[in-house]
Amino acid sequence: MTSGVSRRALFSGLGALGIGGLVAADASASALTAENATQIVPFRADRQAGIVTPQQDRLTFAAFDVVTKDRGELVSLLKTWTTAAESMTKGDLVPGGEADLQAPPADTGEADGLKPGNLTVTVGFGPSLFDDRFGLTAKKPAALAPLPKLVPEQLDPAYTGGDLCVQACADDPQVTFHAVRNLARLGTGIVVLRWMQLGFGRTASTSSAQATPRNLMGFKDGTRNLRAEQTDLIDQNVWIGAETDQPWLRGGSYLVARRIRMFIENWDRDYLADQQNVFGRYKASGAPLGGAEEFDTPNLGSTDIPDDAHIRLASPEHNGGARLLRRGYSFTDGIDSTGNLLGGLFFIAFMKDPQQFVTVQKALAGDALNEYIQHIGSGLFACPPGVTDGQHWGQGMFT
């Protein structure tokens, strides 16, 4: 297979585009059906995809440590990653030479034939990248400070931190895994995987067109989440603007990841009224307590919603207006050493300033939900702006 060969023989309109530079440009245009078009999220844009993109169903998230001491190698990897990610988001193979029976294929192959699945690949830089290894100390945004100790957390170092992160989201789990696996492979010798998380189902909606999914506690999650269509609120809360001390980061966003374990067995034996009081919502309808419909504005002045209810403490009204664009996923990693289910919410949120998360999480110190959850992993990353033609991830940071 050549670098440009489409992995979707069935959707050959895009296949012709993938082969690249062929005489058949007109053929590709005519065959580009609406269905195919909706499977591809544009990679090149002012802002990175995978943030306000309508949230896909599946996730593979990886945090990497950089092991090279050579700044040039790191830059070169970010270029390679940009090219590979662009290709994969189109549903094409990882580029890299011709088929050769004596060489391992450039692409690992497991997404060959799958639809692009709205794959987005989003990259972020952790605080540790800005130490003295790569001459980036002067490029460190002041806001990118390690998160303070937050209740209820007991962080496992094996699931915390990282110099770089890659968030791959798509509607097909194999497409997301393929993306991270191939980026990791391209990075051998330069980066190593520090930790990795699969998410099997979205627990938020980032577009008004999407229905609200349920988390593993059985409650609708993200009813009051920011939506892509709320462009003013998104600008106020999600995209980094002129306020940053680092011009290269404008148009980017901070990503906070929290691996949140749910004590599932305990939760499952809590009585319904208490479950509803913990969240402040009715389990079946998702309506706020005292309300009738899911999207009714919670009446926080009412005693229907207990003082320690999750939706009260997490609300913008309770947090000086602080809001997050949540983009989390349910996860399970089987069972723990005691035989209990090990799973919960892999929380991801994007924001203009990590303090937004800190504010909300501090308010959640008294959350009734804390009896049933624990934060066991954490990451904070500055996601740079998008890449336009000819650019690569992090280019602004290295110039």
Partner 1 sequence: MRTTIGLTAIAAAATLALTACGGSSASGNAPSNAPAGQGGDVTVTLTADGCQPSPASISSGAVNFKVSNKDAGAVSEAELLSGGQMLGEQENLTPGLDGGFSLELAKGDYQIYCPGAKQEKFDFHVTGDAAKSWKDNPTLVTATTDYGKWIVDQVNQLVTGTQAFADAVKAGDIDKAGVAYGQARVFYEKVEPVAEIWGDLDLNIDGRIDDFDNPADFKGFHKIEQAIFETKKLDGMGPVADELVKNVTSLQQLVAKAAYQPAEIANGATELVDEIQKTKVTGEEERYSHIDLVDFKANLDGSMEAFDVLLPALQKSAPDVAKTVQGRNAAVEAALKPYEQSPGYLNTGYVDYSTVTKDQQKVLSQAVNALGEAMSQVAAKVTQ
- In the complex, the residues that contact partner 1 under the rule CB under 8 A are 1-6, 9, 12-13, 15-16, 19-24, 26-28, 30-31, 67, 83, 87, 95-104, 185, 188-189, 192
The torsion angles phi and psi of 44, rounded to 5 degrees, stand at -90, 120
CB of 76 to partner 1, least distance (A): 12
Do residues 226 and 238 lie in contact, with contact meaning Cβ atoms separated by under 8 Å? yes
288 burial (CB, 10 Å; 0-12 / 13-18 / 19+) is buried
CB of 316 to partner 1, least distance (A): 42
Nearer to partner 1, 9 or 151 (CB): 9
**Beta carbons within 8 Å of 80's beta carbon, 6+ residues apart:** 186
Nearer to partner 1, 114 or 300 (CB): 114
Nearer to partner 1, 116 or 152 (CB): 116
Nearer to partner 1, 92 or 353 (CB): 92
CB of 262 to partner 1, least distance (A): 28
Report CA 361 to chain centroid distance, whole Å. Answer: 19
DSSP-derived letter for residue 6 is B
**Beta carbons within 8 Å of 379's beta carbon, 6+ residues apart:** 63, 126, 160, 161, 162, 165, 255, 256, 257
Nearer to partner 1, 31 or 287 (CB): 31
CB of 22 to partner 1, least distance (A): 4
Report CA 80 to chain centroid distance, whole Å. Answer: 21
CB of 110 to partner 1, least distance (A): 18
Nearer to partner 1, 25 or 145 (CB): 25
CB of 129 to partner 1, least distance (A): 18
Checking DSSP bridges between strand 120-125 and strand 164-170, what pairing results, if any? antiparallel
Nearer to partner 1, 151 or 158 (CB): 158
- Quick one: which of 164, 179, 209 has its CA closest to 67? 164
Please state whether 231 falls in left (phi above 0), alpha (psi between -120 and 50) or beta: alpha
Q: Cα angle at 158 between 156 and 162, to 5 degrees? A: 110
CB of 101 to partner 1, least distance (A): 4
CA atoms within 13 A on the CB side of 22: 16
Do residues 193 and 64 lie in contact, with contact meaning Cβ atoms separated by under 8 Å? yes
CB of 109 to partner 1, least distance (A): 14
- Residue in this structure with the two tokens 């990795």, named with its chain if needed: 196
Nearer to partner 1, 86 or 308 (CB): 86
